[in-house]
């Protein structure tokens, strides 16, 4: 797979591209259907497969004061797209000037003229161009003029729900990580480097790794979660607390603290990947540290029971 920043740097000599359009934040099950169709169309027509991503996310540029958090980083999306078999990722810098382009100009200048796109694959609700006025109908209307074909992927349903990034965000913010993983097709994951904290966990007998995660990324709702933690070539279970530490002093900043089960090592500055498996409980303010210790002991008992009954297999196989 080849990653190219901005369309002016695309100078590949091939028969053209089959390209998937969308933000693909989270790369959930519906997104994967679009990617699978893109790869299929590329193989069918002797083209190369590609995904066109905008960075930053358009909401960040057009609605900068809106509280919007990403499900996945560009790096995470690129890793998944490579696993799925995409040939090219085109990352286009999104600006106010680009947002002002008419839908027709966007397709003509960016996709047809610059990238030589022959096949466009989109979800049923895709919009683009100035004020989002470009639709699936627009693309179908211009296909003969601009010499491309369009494939529209219908909604992916699970039960009575349409799989979407917004729906998955709501689930995660409500702490429903187990259900969110069903729509994502994998466990919801966050990455970050271990930083120094206030050492309260160590003083209580439960040393924690404090994770630094960018403010632009979505975190599960405040609470305690059973997690699988990846560090280098190791897999470990952990209790991950998301919250403001109300027992000691309510902080303005949400912290991510992980107590690693059956582990004792030096991991400051190391990067950890945390997979959220199951919500144990809400965040609670306790009278003092002794009550908190009793609750953590109870959390650990439940966590080990869940591991033995549901999640032990994760230590023995590749995680998704």
Closest CA to 33 of 161, 164, 149, 154: 154
Q: Per-residue confidence of the chain (320 residues) as pLDDT tens digits?
A: 999 999 999 999 999 999 999 999 999 999 999 999 999 999 999 999 999 999 999 999 999 999 899 999 999 999 999 999 999 999 999 999 999 999 999 999 999 999 999 999 999 999 999 999 999 999 999 999 999 999 999 999 998 999 999 999 999 999 999 999 999 999 999 999 999 876 565 555 578 899 999 999 999 999 999 999 999 989 999 999 999 875 556 567 899 999 999 998 889 999 999 999 999 999 888 767 788 889 999 999 999 999 999 999 999 766 65
Structure tokens at 141: 């209307």
Torsion angle of C-alpha atoms 29, 33, 35, 40, degrees rounded to 10? 150
Q: What is the pLDDT of residue 264?
A: 84
Say if residues 162 and 156 touch (Cβ distance below 8 Å).
yes
The full DSSP string for 122-177 is EETT--BSGGG-B-HHHHHHHHHHHT-EEEEEPPPEETTEE--HHHHHHHHHTT-H
Q: What is the pLDDT of residue 284?
A: 87
Q: What are phi and psi of 80, to 5 degrees?
A: -70, -40
Q: 144-184, pLDDT tens digit by residue? A: 999 999 999 999 999 899 999 999 999 999 999 999 999 99
Q: What is the pLDDT of residue 223?
A: 96
Torsion angle of C-alpha atoms 231, 235, 236, 237, degrees rounded to 10? 120
Q: 248-270, pLDDT tens digit by residue? A: 565 678 999 999 999 988 899 99
Pick the CATH number of 187-315 from 3.30.160.150, 2.40.30.30, 3.30.70.1400, 3.40.1360.10: 2.40.30.30
Say if residues 276 and 188 touch (Cβ distance below 8 Å).
yes
* 180 bridge partner residues: none
Domain ranges for the chain: 2-158, 187-315
Task: Write the DSSP symbol of residue 272.
Answer: E
Superfamily of domain 2-158 in CATH is HUPs (3.40.50.620)
Q: What is the pLDDT of residue 146?
A: 97
């Amino acid at each position: 797979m080849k990653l190219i920043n901005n369309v002016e740097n695309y100078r590949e000599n091939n028969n053209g591209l089959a390209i998937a359009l969308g933000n693909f934040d989270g790369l959930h099950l519906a997104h994967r259907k679009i990617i699978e169709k893109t790869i299929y169309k590329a193989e069918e027509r002797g083209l190369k497969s590609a995904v066109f991503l905008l960075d930053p996310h358009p909401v960040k540029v057009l609605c900068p004061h809106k509280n919007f958090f990403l499900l996945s980083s560009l790096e995470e999306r690129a890793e998944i797209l490579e696993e799925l078999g995409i040939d090219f990722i085109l990352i286009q810098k999104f600006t106010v000037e680009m947002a002002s382009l008419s839908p027709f100009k966007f397709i003509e200048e960016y996709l047809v003229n610059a990238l030589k796109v022959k096949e466009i694959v989109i979800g049923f609700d895709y919009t683009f161009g100035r004020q989002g006025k470009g639709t699936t109908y627009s693309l179908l209307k211009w296909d003969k003029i601009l010499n491309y074909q369009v494939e529209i992927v219908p909604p992916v349903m699970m039960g009575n729900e349409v799989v979407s990034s917004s729906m998955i965000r709501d689930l995660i913010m409500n702490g429903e990580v187990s259900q969110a993983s069903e729509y994502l097709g994998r466990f919801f994951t966050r990455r970050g480097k271990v930083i120094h904290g206030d050492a309260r966990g160590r003083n209580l007998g439960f040393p924690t790794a404090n994770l630094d995660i960018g403010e632009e990324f979505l975190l599960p709702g405040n609470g305690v979660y059973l997690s699988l933690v990846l560090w280098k070539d190791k897999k470990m279970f952990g209790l991950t607390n998301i919250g403001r530490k109300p027992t000691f002093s309510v902080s303005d900043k949400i912290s991510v603290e992980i107590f690693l089960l059956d582990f004792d090592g030096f991991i400051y500055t190391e990067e950890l990947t945390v997979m959220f498996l199951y919500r144990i409980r809400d965040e609670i303010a306790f009278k003092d540290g002794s009550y908190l210790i009793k609750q953590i002991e109870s959390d650990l008992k439940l966590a080990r029971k869940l591991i033995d009954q549901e999640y032990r297999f994760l230590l023995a196989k590749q995680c998704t």
